[in-house]
Amino acid sequence: MKPASSADVAVIGCGVIGAAIAWRLSQLGMHVVSIDPAPGDGATHAAAGMLAAVSESDFGEHDLTRMNVEAAKAWPAFAAELEAESGRSTGLRRCGTLTVAYDSGDRAQLRRLLDLRRQWGLDVEEITVDTARHTTPLLGPRIAGAIWAANDHQADPRQVHRALLAALEVRRVEIVRRRAVGLSRAPDGRVTGVADDSGSRHPAGTVVLAAGWASRDLVRDLPMAAVPTRPVKGQVLRLDSSGHPDFTLDHVVRGFVQTRSIYLVPRADGEIVVGATSEEQPDDRIVTAGAVFALLRDARAMIPGLDELPLIEATARARPGSPDNLPLVGASAVDGLVVATGHYRNGILLAPATAAAVTELISAGSIPTSAADPRRFGRDPTPSTPSGGRI
């Protein structure tokens, strides 16, 4: 039984994952409180927003790819409903994704990935360099191969987050701008609420842990509910093509340039996101000269016209990594605690599916076993059976 003043659910973290969960729960009429000192200022702030289930798929990540493909299907309805409820755009752009190879070594790498993706039944085709040049006249002179993923689209994570905050306001979800410092527990061990850094306590029937890579810190005293997230630093640039009518790019362009991967994500308003580094480093938020140089070097090898564009932003944030690159979504080994973190490179893509799974778990009491089951880690791991790629 929850105390009378208690929320139904307290969500720790209000990035894209926590905000999407809080919104979906509030739509069911639940009393939800969201706790975050800086909503939206984590990985969500840096993310490029590629919904790249196919273009992200890689060797050893079949479960993740199946999950991403399922999650991508949820995006159009999620965006439409969020836009209707918030009155704001999500920047969803059904644009497709071109991936190019810079030299013959990169082409061999691209073909290996193409074979793998075909084996997995993914929607991807090899196209000629001439066709790639036709659809993307900005491509530079040195392109050795190309593939096209027609259903890999994009959304703008900052717009999505702003829309979620507006929807939370509509649903009267209280956002407490404090850092969670601990979990309250009943004598029987059940999690019963959250303590914040002002000393306030927020009792709740269920607590959802969605604090990105920092989620691990909240369960340090609960070894049976291990949440082994870690920061994986990403640096990303934003350029502005709005004053350059000759610079027209209407789909995502990714590439391998001498084995290094690079991407350009063009927004409808002319913003071009160029990313990203992937560094086993803490979330120090420091942009380094070397990273800016390397990103621009590889991006302009694909699209030389970038040279003319104003560089308007350089950002560093950390992705919530997990040991097997799969997210942790579902019940923990401790009653009252649900986990939704570890979304690593795909948290924007996975947000609608994660919110749906957590909402089903809290409202119906259970969800089908999935490869994302957080209990695969911890003291007594529960073996999980992937089921049809859903979270």
Ligand X SMILES: Cc1cc2nc3c(=O)[nH]c(=O)nc-3n(C[C@H](O)[C@H](O)[C@H](O)COP(=O)(O)OP(=O)(O)OC[C@H]3O[C@@H](n4cnc5c(N)ncnc54)[C@H](O)[C@@H]3O)c2cc1C
The structure tokens listed for 231 are: 């920061």
- What is the closest distance, in whole angstroms, from the C-beta atom of residue 354 to ligand X in the complex? 8
Residue closer to ligand X by CB (options 43, 98) is 43
- What is the closest distance, in whole angstroms, from the C-beta atom of residue 38 to ligand X in the complex? 4
Nearest to residue 46, comparing CAs of 278, 355, 268, 215?
Answer: 278
Residue closer to ligand X by CB (options 107, 196) is 196
Residue closer to ligand X by CB (options 80, 181) is 181
DSSP codes, 298-326: HHHHH-GGGGGS-EEEEEEEEEEE-TTS-
Q: How many residues does the chain have?
A: 391
- What is the closest distance, in whole angstroms, from the C-beta atom of residue 245 to ligand X in the complex? 26
Residue closer to ligand X by CB (options 107, 165) is 165
Pairing of strands 7-12, 201-209: parallel
- What is the closest distance, in whole angstroms, from the C-beta atom of residue 88 to ligand X in the complex? 18
- What is the closest distance, in whole angstroms, from the C-beta atom of residue 269 to ligand X in the complex? 17
User: For residues 140 and 92, is the Cβ–Cβ distance under 8 A?
Assistant: no
- What is the closest distance, in whole angstroms, from the C-beta atom of residue 365 to ligand X in the complex? 24
With residue 180 as reference, give the H or E element that holds it.
strand 180-185
Nearest to residue 9, comparing CAs of 45, 33, 44?
Answer: 33
Residue closer to ligand X by CB (options 16, 32) is 16
Residue closer to ligand X by CB (options 107, 339) is 339
Round to whole Å and give the CA distance between 10 and 208.
6
Residue closer to ligand X by CB (options 138, 349) is 349
For the stretch 71-86, what's the b/e string if a residue is b when 16 or more beta carbons lie within 10 angstroms of its beta carbon? bbebbeebbeebbebb
The H-assigned helical ranges of the chain are: 16-27, 43-46, 62-86, 104-119, 129-135, 157-170, 215-218, 289-302, 347-364
- What is the closest distance, in whole angstroms, from the C-beta atom of residue 44 to ligand X in the complex? 3
User: For residues 163 and 82, is the Cβ–Cβ distance under 8 A?
Assistant: yes
- What is the closest distance, in whole angstroms, from the C-beta atom of residue 385 to ligand X in the complex? 24
Cα-atom radius of gyration of the chain, to the nearest Å? 21
- What is the closest distance, in whole angstroms, from the C-beta atom of residue 66 to ligand X in the complex? 16
Residue closer to ligand X by CB (options 24, 107) is 24
Round to whole Å and give the CA distance between 110 and 91.
29
The structure tokens listed for 287 are: 């942009």
Residue closer to ligand X by CB (options 93, 343) is 343
Footprint on this chain of ligand X (rule: CB under 6 A): 12-18, 35-44, 46-50, 179-180, 210-212, 214, 234, 236, 275-276, 317, 319-320, 341, 343-349
Round to whole Å and give the CA distance between 247 and 239.
12
Residue closer to ligand X by CB (options 179, 230) is 179
For the stretch 94-106, what's the b/e string if a residue is b when 16 or more beta carbons lie within 10 angstroms of its beta carbon? ebbbbbbbbbeeb
- What is the closest distance, in whole angstroms, from the C-beta atom of residue 207 to ligand X in the complex? 11
